[in-house]
Amino acid sequence: MPATYTVRRAGPADLAALVALEQASFSYDRMSPRQYRRHLASPGAAVLLAEDAGALLGSALLFFRRGSALARLYSLATAAAARGRGIGKALLQAAEAEARRRGAARLRLEVRRDNAAAVQLYEKHGYRRIAELAAYYDDGADAWRYEKSLIASPPP
């Protein structure tokens, strides 16, 4: 099935849809409308979204620290009805491109150990597990920390 969606930078008009996706996607550590509003306006954050005919299919939130070569993928969510369409992959690739554009050499993220689909996505796209984080989430779930170099390796 060909991709019929676009990935773009989110803006203030996307706030309600982003918050609705957040509520539907996560049962823990949810971001509030106030937090999203702040991230949408912050030069240290990038909110990306995938949409099809105005419908929000997924989102990704990245954080950047001035002077750091490390970017952080804080959140990646795909709407339940859009799963299996490559939305997660497209958002991950867009997040990596945005991090590179801002000069990051590495992208880091945390993921619940029990989120098999996300773990598979990250590992398939070159992320390596660098740490285990016990009771990382509000509900006590463990996490794994992953990282990927964004600098292309020279050919052998």
pLDDT digits (tens, 9 = 90+) for 83-120: 989 999 999 999 999 999 999 999 999 999 999 999 99
Query: Does residue 139 lie in a domain region?
Result: yes
Here the CATH number for the domain that contains residue 144 is 3.40.630.30
Query: Does residue 85 lie in a domain region?
Result: yes
Query: Does residue 154 lie in a domain region?
Result: no
Quick check: 122 pLDDT over 50?
yes
Query: Does residue 155 lie in a domain region?
Result: no
Contacts of 86 (CB under 8 A, 6+ apart): 3
Query: Which pLDDT does position 54 carry in this prediction?
Result: 87
Query: Which pLDDT does position 73 carry in this prediction?
Result: 98
Query: Does residue 127 lie in a domain region?
Result: yes
Sheet holding 70-78, edge to edge: 6-9, 45-52, 55-64, 70-78, 106-112, 143-149, 128-133
Quick check: 2 pLDDT over 90?
no
Computed on alpha carbons and rounded to an integer, the radius of gyration of the chain in Å comes to 15
Query: Does residue 89 lie in a domain region?
Result: yes
Question: By residue range, what is the domain housing residue 123?
Answer: 6-149
Number of domains in the chain: 1
Greatest Cα-to-Cα distance within the chain, rounded to the nearest angstrom: 48
Q: What is the pLDDT of residues 26-42, one digit of tens each?
A: 887 789 999 999 999 99
Contacts of 84 (CB under 8 A, 6+ apart): none
Q: Tell me what the pLDDT averaged over the chain comes to.
A: 93
Query: Does residue 112 lie in a domain region?
Result: yes
Query: Which pLDDT does position 152 carry in this prediction?
Result: 73
- pTM value is 0.92
Query: Does residue 74 lie in a domain region?
Result: yes
